[in-house]
Amino acid sequence: MSRIALLTKATPRFEDDNYLRFGRLLSTSNEVSLVNFDSLQLRDNAIWGQQFPWQDYFQPGAEMPLSRFGPIEHDLVWTLSLGDRSSFLDKYQLLYALSKQTTVINSLTALMHLKSKYYLASRPEQFPQPETHASSSASELIKLIRHRGGKWIVKPPAGSLGRDVFLVSPRDTNLNTILEHMCGLDETRYAMIQRYAPQIEAGEKRVLLAGGRIIDQYRRLQKIDHRTNVSQGASTEHCELTAEEHDYCSGLAEELLDEGVYFSGIDLAWPWLIETNVVNPGGIITLQALTGQDRTEDVLNAILESLKPKGLRLSFKAEPVS
């Protein structure tokens, strides 16, 4: 029986998140442990973490059990949270050490570079994006916006959930305030500006990719402001991909798999790729609410099939159809 560690964030109670859905299925044929990602440490020349074994009673709303510190000696380590941002570099280096002993997904390269928007913007052939700039100098970014004109999105290079995302234009009276807030008074933080893509007003498509193929997709529509994040009030609807979008996503799924990305969510406002999420992409729960179909098994089947070339032959027992 294989041993699988799911690296998650610590919460008082279980949430209906990917780790709970994946863990429930994987535990049918494997030993599954949940490990608090923020607890990673080096002890006795090994990587340890707070962890507890999977139990059948785990469900949304149930209290998390007490955990214990122990070495991470699993056959597969799956990162489903990056935890506290301030200690990310330390945890990344601990993960790097761990990756020399076991399989870590998604790859460390993906977690570092595809989570950030810098790499995406530097590869326009693979990741087509609107005009993008980044700097820790608020004055430089303000100068660019005023010189080039038009609407711009201001956002953190590695943010999520629509936090600190602003729509600005050269004449906005709060332009300086927003950029100074993003870069900090001492200009030690980086901010990114990206030309506003009007295509997003027709909806942004979240496409789930797993094991080098497309799983499913849905459209997110602005409701409150310019953001299309569900956490920020966007509405959702199931949708289809156009032929162009399908061809692009199919090719990108294979390219991402080559880079060690086994599960991701990408956001399209065609012809632009707006975001990639390679840590713990949302979408499975939304798709189930929209279609009545739980795609968890499809995601896992695709991932486990693509892990076979690494010598990992993992399985799970499918849940009976009700």
CA distance 134 to 112: 17
Question: Residue 89 belongs to a domain with what CATH number?
Answer: 3.40.50.20
Q: Which of 35, 8, 33, 30 is nearest to 19 (CA)?
A: 8
Number of folded domains that form the chain: 3
pTM score over 0.85: yes
Q: In this model, does residue 110 exceed pLDDT 80?
A: yes
152-191 confidence digits (pLDDT tens): 999 998 766 667 899 999 999 999 999 999 999 899 999 9
CA distance 201 to 272: 13
pLDDT band at 203 (very low <50, low <70, confident <90, very high): very high
SS3 assignment, position 105 = strand
| Residue-level pLDDT at 125 | 92
Q: Given 151, 176, 196, which residue is the final one in a domain?
A: 196
Instruction: Judge if 206 and 183 occupy the same domain.
Output: no
Instruction: Judge if 187 and 214 occupy the same domain.
Output: no
CA distance 22 to 320: 16
Which domain range does residue 275 map to?
199-310
121 within a domain of the structure (yes/no): no
Tell me the pLDDT of the chain averaged across its residues: 93
274 within a domain of the structure (yes/no): yes
317 within a domain of the structure (yes/no): no
Tokens of 59: 């469900």
Question: Residue 184 belongs to a domain with what CATH number?
Answer: 3.30.1490.20
Instruction: Judge if 188 and 205 occupy the same domain.
Output: no
Instruction: Judge if 68 and 164 occupy the same domain.
Output: no
CA distance 10 to 8: 7
